[in-house]
A and B are shown apart, each in its own frame.
Chain A
Amino acid sequence: MTSGTEGTGALAQEVAAPRPRVRWRARLALVLAAGFGLVAMSWPLLTTPGGALTETTSGPWLFALLLPLVTAAVLMQLSDGGLDARAVAMLGVMSAVVAAVRPFGAGAAGVETVFFLIILAGRVFGAGFGFILGCTGLFASALLTGGVGPWMPFQMFAAAFVGLGAGLLPRTGTDTRGGRAAELVLLAAYAVVSSILYGLLLNLSFWPFAITQGNLAYVPGGGIGENLPRLFAYSLATSLGWDIGRAITTAVLIALTGPLLLRVLRRAARRANWV
């Protein structure tokens, strides 16, 4: 019902009305937040023997409390001076869609139905929008299902960067058949990489307090040589299947729904340009 009404010429002009502008301060904040997030998730691998974090077991809790603060600071910088009403409404609706499709992936192993939406929306509406959507989408779905827990800050943060990265991918022409196919291939490849990275980083953030004794546990002060094989074995034993499942389902969903959803989202972006 949508095909045929839109000429390819209209698709070609990249209209992106509800794009939150990303100023230099917001960029700096994003880079700093990415640096902090990297430490917050992968500190078990990065600590050196004798470092202050190796002596306490409160690392994950500390970072789970500090991450919301960092996320709030970045969101404030991104929405500095007020978000457009259209961006707010669009964010709300897209977050609702994310929250509505998330339960579909909860039952089956590794089926993840959130990422393809965040990636496609980040692609159409830009990096800043993708970042905020990653946060608000996962937050809204956690609120709706009563799933707020110590893992939520990490999930929100990682999903936000998935959306940000989707907005930063290079442009392919969307006015030719080849350009649109190339865009889908690019997005699917990005989906595979980002899903596996997301799984590994989340695993890493939860690992030190999921298991504390035995061959698979994190050794405080063990350094990367001691802990990397243990992490690898832990991932293999627990979640690698899920991560690969998530990567495959996200890529397949993008390939299947991408043409339609990209068209729907671009139409909305064009129509939102009503000022």
Chain B
Amino acid sequence: MSVPARAPVRPTATHPAPARRRTAHPVAWWGWALLLATTAGRTANPWLLLLIVAVAGLVVTFCRGDEPWSGAYRVFLLIGLTAVAVRMAFYIVFGGSDGPTVLFSLPSTTLPDWAAGFRLGGNVTAEGALAAAYDGLRLATLLVCVGAANALASPRRLLRSVPAALYEVSVAVVVALSVAPQLVAGVGRVRRARALRGNTNRSPANLMRTVAAPVLHDALDRSLALAAAMASRGYGRAAGIPAPARRATGAALLFGLLGLCAGAYALLGAATPAPVAWTLLAAGAAAAVFGIAFASKRVPHTRYRPDRFGPLDWAVLASGAAAVVGTVLSGLTDSAALWPATNPLAVPDLPLWAAAGVLLAAAPAALVPSTPKGTT
């Protein structure tokens, strides 16, 4: 659909200007959350990890809208708690690091040699349990950061930021997102019609034949109608991309994949020096990114109200980066506080630089709070 770029839509009362949107760009939210997750990955200090969870929760509370995915933070918090519990259970049954303070002893047994000779049960020590708890807390914090991104970033807006070269695939996902609710409605309609016909048979075979089949037929027929509608509006005609450009894209992508493959295999073995392997991997990734960006430039699709990355979005990203910088500074000054020892038992210190950085990452709560009636 190579529509010439039209004049920008003038803001009116019913169509507020896009600049007035209050919530940040979904890419900014994902970047912020991944930077927080990186921070969590660089430490095992429980105070710092709990601070990260608290900051993520604060920002989610202030900035989320009221869309269906906005409750994701709580779900991921539960998954994180499960991760801690599973980690502790693994420690108690299969053992881990040991220490002198024995809390209690389980009957222990050693598996035979063919099963790798593991020891099950045995002493449960305070030091080992603490190490397992720190480790589980680290994984839980990573998961909670991802949950915050899920709660904050609108998937529909995220889909608009997919590279233009993947336009068709992203259209398919958009179709999927809008068809899924229709499927649920379709099931209700078919069931009502079935009840009106007096069919109360509950056997799975009958349900399959009289509910699943009509719903699926309906959905597939609708997809054909949609395809006809799209085709009649000029969708899917061969885009006028010159052959050399297409060949260049293909070559860049293939060389990128080749580089990524070679780099990954070189990383595995000891035969290739590590710098060479990392360079190969980076070069492959760069070639693939270039191929995607190059192809996106050539695609003659215009965007309606493009979602620009504004200064507020950069501020959100910068606040996430502050947490990483703080952790790196703490790592340079006192790395012992970032990786507290569990043997002997001690109350870990709070590394100041890292804590200050993580507190700065709460800035989005003040920068882009959600409006009372939800987000745009």
Task: Using known A-B contacts A261-B216, A268-B220, A271-B224, determine if residue A25 contacts B176 with beta carbons closer than 8 Å.
Answer: no
A35–B292 CB distance below 8 A: no
Specify which chain B residues have a CB less than 8 angstroms from the CB of A203 in the assembled complex: none
Specify which chain A residues have a CB less than 8 angstroms from the CB of B217 in the assembled complex: 2, 264, 267
Alpha-carbon gap, A173 to B194, bound state (A) = 35
Specify which chain B residues have a CB less than 8 angstroms from the CB of A179 in the assembled complex: none
Alpha-carbon gap, A214 to B128, bound state (A) = 10
Whether B94 is near chain A, meaning CB under 8 Å from some CB there, is: yes
Of chain A, the residue at the smallest CB distance from B70 is A146
Alpha-carbon gap, A190 to B233, bound state (A) = 40
Whether B303 is near chain A, meaning CB under 8 Å from some CB there, is: no
B173–A150 CB distance below 8 A: no
The 5 closest A-B pairs by CB, nearest first: A92-B175, A50-B270, A146-B72, A229-B116, A95-B176
B213–A2 CB distance below 8 A: yes
Q: How far is the CB of B49 from chain A (nearest CB, A)?
A: 15
Task: Using known A-B contacts A76-B166, A83-B168, A97-B219, determine if residue A32 contacts B236 with beta carbons closer than 8 Å.
Answer: no
Specify which chain A residues have a CB less than 8 angstroms from the CB of B212 in the assembled complex: 257, 260
Interface residues on B, range: 35 or more
Task: Using known A-B contacts A40-B264, A214-B95, A264-B217, determine if residue A73 contacts B224 with beta carbons closer than 8 Å.
Answer: no
Alpha-carbon gap, A92 to B139, bound state (A) = 34
B230 interface neighbour in A69, A88, A233, Cβ under 8 Å: A88
Alpha-carbon gap, A51 to B268, bound state (A) = 5
Binary contact readout B188-215 vs A (1 if CB under 8 angstroms, 0 otherwise)? 0000000000000000100011101110
Specify which chain A residues have a CB less than 8 angstroms from the CB of B172 in the assembled complex: 83, 88-89, 91-92, 95, 132, 136
Give the contact stretch, choosing among A41-49, A194-202, A241-249.
Answer: A41-49
Whether B309 is near chain A, meaning CB under 8 Å from some CB there, is: no
B236–A92 CB distance below 8 A: no
Binary contact readout A212-256 vs B (1 if CB under 8 angstroms, 0 otherwise)? 111111000000000001101100010000000000000000001
B239–A89 CB distance below 8 A: no
Alpha-carbon gap, A132 to B221, bound state (A) = 20
Specify which chain B residues have a CB less than 8 angstroms from the CB of A51 in the assembled complex: 267-270
Whether B278 is near chain A, meaning CB under 8 Å from some CB there, is: yes
Whether B21 is near chain A, meaning CB under 8 Å from some CB there, is: no
Task: Using known A-B contacts A96-B179, A146-B150, determine if residue A49 contacts B169 with beta carbons closer than 8 Å.
Answer: no
Task: Using known A-B contacts A32-B254, A73-B292, determine if residue A146 contacts B226 with beta carbons closer than 8 Å.
Answer: no
Specify which chain A residues have a CB less than 8 angstroms from the CB of B258 in the assembled complex: 32
Given contacts A83-B172, A85-B231, A88-B230, 7 further A-B contacts (CB under 8 A): A77-B250, A81-B238, A146-B72, A229-B116, A237-B94, A264-B220, A272-B227
B257–A93 CB distance below 8 A: no
Most A C-beta atoms less than 10 A away, residue of B87, B143, B264, B265: B264
Interface residues of B in 222-279 (CB under 8 A from A): 222-224, 226-228, 230-231, 235-239, 241, 246, 249-250, 253-254, 256-258, 260-261, 264-270, 272, 274, 277-278
B270–A88 CB distance below 8 A: no
Whether B115 is near chain A, meaning CB under 8 Å from some CB there, is: yes
Whether A11 is near chain B, meaning CB under 8 Å from some CB there, is: no
A29–B268 CB distance below 8 A: no
Task: Using known A-B contacts A73-B256, A95-B173, A143-B177, determine if residue A47 contacts B268 with beta carbons closer than 8 Å.
Answer: yes
Specify which chain A residues have a CB less than 8 angstroms from the CB of B166 in the assembled complex: 72, 75-76, 79
Which residues on B are within 8 Å of A, measured CB to CB? 41, 68-69, 71-72, 75-76, 83, 86-87, 90-91, 93-97, 115-116, 118-119, 131-132, 135, 139, 142-143, 146-147, 149-151, 155, 158-159, 163, 165-166, 168-169, 171-177, 179-180, 182-184, 204, 208-210, 212-214, 216-217, 219-224, 226-228, 230-231, 235-239, 241, 246, 249-250, 253-254, 256-258, 260-261, 264-270, 272, 274, 277-278, 281, 285, 288-289, 291-292, 295
Task: Using known A-B contacts A69-B285, A97-B219, determine if residue A85 contacts B230 with beta carbons closer than 8 Å.
Answer: yes
Interface of A is mostly: helix
Specify which chain A residues have a CB less than 8 angstroms from the CB of B158 in the assembled complex: 143
Alpha-carbon gap, A46 to B142, bound state (A) = 26
Task: Using known A-B contacts A66-B285, A76-B253, A93-B220, determine if residue A85 contacts B268 with beta carbons closer than 8 Å.
Answer: no
Whether A28 is near chain B, meaning CB under 8 Å from some CB there, is: yes
Of chain A, the residue at the smallest CB distance from B251 is A25
A260–B176 CB distance below 8 A: no
A85–B183 CB distance below 8 A: no
Q: How far is the CB of A56 from chain B (nearest CB, A)?
A: 9
Whether A33 is near chain B, meaning CB under 8 Å from some CB there, is: yes
Alpha-carbon gap, A6 to B226, bound state (A) = 24
B270 interface neighbour in A43, A48, A69, A143, Cβ under 8 Å: A48
Alpha-carbon gap, A63 to B97, bound state (A) = 28
B222–A215 CB distance below 8 A: no
Alpha-carbon gap, A36 to B264, bound state (A) = 7
Alpha-carbon gap, A90 to B216, bound state (A) = 12
B177–A144 CB distance below 8 A: yes
A90–B90 CB distance below 8 A: no
Most B C-beta atoms less than 10 A away, residue of A93, A148, A211: A93
Most A C-beta atoms less than 10 A away, residue of B184, B212, B216, B288: B216
Most B C-beta atoms less than 10 A away, residue of A1, A33, A73, A211: A73
Whether A82 is near chain B, meaning CB under 8 Å from some CB there, is: yes
Specify which chain B residues have a CB less than 8 angstroms from the CB of A264 in the assembled complex: 213, 216-217, 220
Q: How far is the CB of A109 from chain B (nearest CB, A)?
A: 14
B177–A140 CB distance below 8 A: yes
B236–A76 CB distance below 8 A: no
Alpha-carbon gap, A1 to B223, bound state (A) = 20
A230–B268 CB distance below 8 A: no
A46–B268 CB distance below 8 A: yes
